Chains A and B, each alone.
Chain A
Amino acid sequence: MNIVVCIKQVPSTTEVKINSETNTLVREGVESIINPFDTYAIEEGVRLKERFGGKVTILTMGPPQADIALKECIEVGADEGILVSDRAFAGSDTLATSYVLSKAIEKIGDYDLVISGKQTMDGDTGQVGPGIAQRLGIPFVAYVSRVDDISDGKMKAERMIDEGHEVVEAPVPCVMSVSKEINVPRLPSLRGKMKAKSAQLTVWSAQDLGIEDNKVGLAGSPTFVMQIFSPKRERQSEMLEGSSAEQVSALCDKLSEMKVV
């Protein structure tokens, strides 16, 4: 079974903030990491390979330095890495990104399953997975929490919905996004590390994928960021004073004013 896992390299975002006085961004050594939600996708790809045989190909679209992320995937059991990188892709939104990734998956050609993370930490939309499925003309199963079986051209899996879980059956090939509940990602093995060191990564440009310029980058992205700013906190805070008993009784008064107690 050939599995394609889509991952993204993201800035480690807890470090990014806006300085409220100067209104500028503060980045403390923005380190790039694999989008945490994608680590579950990688792990699931590797586990399915271990169960059903086949090969795991990691696909990412990003700047040249995203090759580090691909090597990290090989350390934890992936077989191959493909980096799709071109200056023409800069500024792509989820629509343009899913177009590029679907073109790359078509070029990979022989695939049975595409796995994506639930969402990215920077973009944080969860739109790329369903976008890829649509472009490839195959079904999409969201928030998978368990894969029961893949056989006879069908996948049986459990997905999370707001009210609980659903067991569904989808034909393969299909795209699935995985939720955190699905597994616990493994740590790199020594063998994996050795393999990653010598691994040859594939790099594809827009031209390699036969991509039309007007469908990627800013031109191919209907959404556009007009402004960025730091979140406002407007609440009037009141710190309650005195001993613990006094504080508690002051709070109770407030709550009874609100008719809570």
Chain B
Amino acid sequence: MSIHIDAEKCTGCGSCEPVCPFGAIEVVDDVAQIKDNCNVCGACQDACDFDAIVIERPAEEDAGDDNSQGVWVFAEQRNGQIKGVVYELLNKGRELADAVNTELCAVCLGHNVEGVEQLGKYGADKVYLFDDPMLAQFEDDIYTQCMVDLIRERKPRMMITGATALGRAFIPRVAAIIETGLTADCTGLDIDKETGLLLQTRPTFGGNIMATIVCRTKRPQMSTVRPHVFKKGTPEPGRKAEIIRMILDGKPTDSRVKLLEFIEDVTEKIKVEDADIIVSGGRGLGKPENFKVVEELAEQLGAAVGASRAAVDEGWIPYSHQVGQTGKTVCPKLYIACGISGAVQHLAGMQTSDTIVAINEDPNAPIFEVATYGIVGDIFEIVPMLTAKIKESRG
């Protein structure tokens, strides 16, 4: 155990008690005691005015003198198309690379991937390209091995991957083999001015609390980021990346997990994650038929239909429409929330939308705290009126 209380210094004031997210510190007989469920997060240390809480951390290595360099972005593709999230990551990656004065590289695994030069236009200095028929589909073992070998050989300082189903399934394996830290679902990435370390900020405790995490001693510092958390940059037409072709020599040629069949989603008309406008419905709709009100407005606006988890759990609409921490993260130009209270977990998935409109009969609903425009009223009155009005203005 590397946390303890300096009994000499502790005054038993108790200011550490309420700050512990785990309830793992308690003052007994005028001295704070650490309980077994302590997670050594350090919250109590910050709250202690007497330096009585001692956390012994493993010796630090100076991030400045390690020989790793470069910020890498995993350029995920599916069926030869580079995913949208990659361009968002390149935009952020460029910022990070400039801040520590290093290069930005994209790593692409696939076969006949289209638009590899786009990666340069969006900010990459180099593209490591593995092009092989064996990589056309996601093959767990081969992808993992390629990534691990390349990291070992070129020693990147940071690596960012999209928190897609594929990214989440395979990057943790890579991190476990390299034995480095991996921070999932970051919503903020920054460079610490003093140490040059990557500051990885993410929601924890169901979105109630944000934590900033660093990886001090191991390289690369790895993070995943959900799609639509960062904005895509503007491409520079003249910009070119150096394309470095890699070969699969000596890598496994077979994956233990075999793909037998792919079943495409019977997709919604417009996917929530790709939509510019989203109209979402929550428990306030009351019953499944009432989703019609939301759908009609969406249709008028050419918008996708979203939902809160409460609406999904009620079975009013499939899970693929769910917005929020355990659903999709969206960042449309306009998000209209109808009968949604605005629980943190819902906000976590939509609060970065450009404009948010909230319609709710409860003036104290937390959704109004993030709304650009709020209407206190009955959705069954307001929403159809809005739909009609838009229809009318379009003639």
Chain A residues in contact with chain B, CB under 8 A? Answer: 11, 13-14, 16-18, 24-27, 30, 62-65, 85, 87-88, 90-91, 93-95, 98, 121-127, 129-131, 133-135, 139-143, 156, 158, 160-171, 174, 180-181, 214, 217-219, 221-231, 233, 235-240, 244-245, 247-249, 251-252, 254-256, 258, 260-261
Contacts and interface: CB of A to CB of B under 8 A. Distances in A.
A41 B47 CA distance: 38
B291 interface: no
Contacts of A95: 175-176, 179-182
Contact of B181 (A85, A93, A129, A214): A93
B21 A248 contact: no
B259 interface: yes
A160 B169 CA distance: 11
A258 B40 contact: no
Contacts, number: 300
B264 A30 contact: no
A127 B172 contact: yes
B263 A17 contact: no
Nearest to A123: B204
Contacts of A252: 386, 389-390, 393
Contacts of A168: 257-260
Contacts of B176: 95, 98, 130-131, 134-135
A181 B169 CA distance: 18
B216 interface: yes
A116 to B, nearest CB: 11
Interface of B: 1-3, 18-23, 35-43, 46-47, 55-58, 78, 140-141, 164-166, 168-170, 172-173, 175-177, 179-185, 199-200, 203-218, 256-265, 277, 301, 319, 325, 333-334, 344, 347, 351, 355-357, 368-378, 381-382, 385-386, 389-390, 393-394
Nearest to B328: A162
Contact of A63 (B35, B57, B58): B35
Contacts of A127: 172, 175, 182, 184
Contacts of B217: 222
A94 to B, nearest CB: 7
A156 B258 CA distance: 9
Q: Which of A133, A164, A228 has the most CB of B within 10 A?
A: A228
Given A25-B209, A169-B257, A237-B372, 20 more contacts: A26-B18, A95-B175, A122-B204, A125-B172, A126-B184, A129-B172, A131-B172, A139-B256, A141-B257, A166-B260, A171-B256, A174-B256, A181-B319, A218-B2, A235-B356, A238-B373, A247-B377, A248-B386, A252-B390, A261-B394
A180 B56 CA distance: 39
B315 to A, nearest CB: 12
Nearest to A243: B377
Nearest to A26: B18
B210 A237 contact: no
8 contacts: A16-B206, A18-B208, A160-B165, A163-B78, A225-B211, A230-B208, A237-B369, A258-B355
Nearest to B55: A218
A64 to B, nearest CB: 6
Contacts of A27: 18, 20-21, 23
